[in-house]
Amino acid sequence: MAPFPLPLAEIMGHWGQYIIYLVIGIAFGFALEMSGFANAPLLAAQFYFKNMTVLKVMFGAIVTAMVLVFLSAAVGLLDYNLVYVNETYLWPGIIGGLIMGMGFIIGGYCPGTSVVGAAVGKIDGILFVLGVLFGIFAFGETVGFYEAFWHSSYLGRFTIPEWLGLPYGVVVVLIVLMALFMFWGAEQLEKIFGGRDLSKEPKWRIYAGGGLLGLALLTAFIGQPTTEQKWSRIEATETARLTNREVQIHPAELALTMTDDTLRTIILDVRPEADYNLFHLQEAQHAPLEALPDMLEELRAAPENSVVVVVGNDEAAATEAWKFLRAESVRSAYILEGGLNNWLRTFGDEAFVTDNALVATADDRPAFAFPAALGAKYPFAAPNETLARSFTFTPKIVLEVKRGPGGGGCG
């Protein structure tokens, strides 16, 4: 079975999935209400170190989810590449956090907890929700004045392991240790400023913390799956698609895709640089196998209407690149059928094909000689739509649905 986020729409149908969302929403709201998150004085008390419930509950939920996510990824139940991670805009994020923090102190709620308060009939919660809605409206009407700042310091899908250069499992352990230290420190602050009697606190919280640390250590011990391990989990399904020729697209289909304004066509040329310089398709990127890992973030972040097509001289190198991309969760990826050798046989003029055909070529090597290294300046690098439509072929490109961003956090 392939790793997932669960495709609930496929399992339960379009409307059936909303039952799950409703149950999760009710459970989440119930947990927040039971934790006191509908009580503005209790929420504001954390800023005076008298009651640190907000920090303990929210950060406890965050680190628990983190451990379960990466442990699930480690054992193959979840593909972390398919989990949406908010893109980082550093300075807008810092300023926005400070503004929301000030609002939290003044109003006693954050946007999420104000909904909890409103749901249980708290007047201050209702007023805060109205304020949030007004703030959203005001932001939408004024963002044009500071849009450059709003989009500044963009870092993409930037994570702590990437920042520190450490394995995900090690970072999971470090964050759990930091969380446990924060929980201990929060209780000491409650004792000092709030007069809390820690001897009356439940003992199970210590065991829960130890269990969470144990799961974090297990996550680090197993480690996150390698590309080879990821491929092995989807190999049966994807190899069947290769064997059935479901992912090898006709040159004419690629040519039409290149001229389709509703699609973003990403062509990855995996051939050696010398071959690429001699001839390549219009707008093709030189992407040898060793360069693909550095391109993954951009490819995964490509718009929903993107189609990735891997091209080689024939299909051998392109197939290896395609397997890598599929293992690393790149959507809507295809292989040029027969490679550029077949492309030239299809779109090359008769004189070029006749005069430049090589007598014998090795596997996955050029089948034609080129008089000059003109790259994409050859006329057959981007054949016109009329010529492409003159060929008969079976269309194979189907856009895969992209996992969109989900809500979460205090906001």
User: Domain containing 270 — which CATH number?
Assistant: 3.40.250.10
Structural domains of the chain, count: 2
| pLDDT given for residue 215 in this prediction | 97
Best CA proximity match to 187, nearest among 160, 209, 213, 161? 209
> Is residue 100 in a domain?
yes
Name residues of the chain where pLDDT drops below 70: 1-6, 360-362, 402-411
Residue 340 CB contacts under 8 Å (≥ 6 apart), including other chains: 271, 279, 280, 281, 311, 312, 313, 366
Instruction: Kindly state whether residues 112 and 136 are assigned to the same domain.
Output: yes
| pLDDT given for residue 17 in this prediction | 87
> Is residue 17 in a domain?
yes
Instruction: Kindly state whether residues 169 and 122 are assigned to the same domain.
Output: yes
Which of 196, 227, 258 is the C-terminal boundary of a domain? 227
Instruction: Kindly state whether residues 31 and 60 are assigned to the same domain.
Output: yes
Instruction: Kindly state whether residues 246 and 370 are assigned to the same domain.
Output: yes
> Is residue 259 in a domain?
yes
Instruction: Kindly state whether residues 241 and 211 are assigned to the same domain.
Output: no
Instruction: Kindly state whether residues 55 and 198 are assigned to the same domain.
Output: yes
| pLDDT given for residue 362 in this prediction | 66
> Is residue 397 in a domain?
no
> Is residue 401 in a domain?
no
**Residue 26's domain spans which residues?**
8-227
Instruction: Kindly state whether residues 237 and 223 are assigned to the same domain.
Output: no
> Is residue 13 in a domain?
yes
Instruction: Kindly state whether residues 116 and 204 are assigned to the same domain.
Output: yes
Place of tokens 């009710």: 26
Which of 204, 227, 250 is the C-terminal boundary of a domain? 227
Instruction: Kindly state whether residues 76 and 204 are assigned to the same domain.
Output: yes
Q: Cα 111 to chain center, whole Å?
A: 25
| pLDDT given for residue 9 in this prediction | 77
Which residue(s) pair with 248 in the sheet? 335
| pLDDT given for residue 1 in this prediction | 43
Instruction: Kindly state whether residues 194 and 338 are assigned to the same domain.
Output: no
Contact present, 251 and 343 (Cβ < 8 Å): yes
> Is residue 403 in a domain?
no
Instruction: Kindly state whether residues 222 and 81 are assigned to the same domain.
Output: yes
Instruction: Kindly state whether residues 152 and 256 are assigned to the same domain.
Output: no
Which of 203, 227, 251 is the C-terminal boundary of a domain? 227
Widest Cα–Cα separation across the chain: 92
| pLDDT given for residue 364 in this prediction | 85
* Model confidence, pTM: 0.80
Best CA proximity match to 333, nearest among 359, 372, 302, 357? 302
> Is residue 16 in a domain?
yes
* Digit-coded pLDDT (tens) for 80-138: 888 888 889 999 999 999 998 898 888 889 888 899 899 989 999 999 999 999 999 99
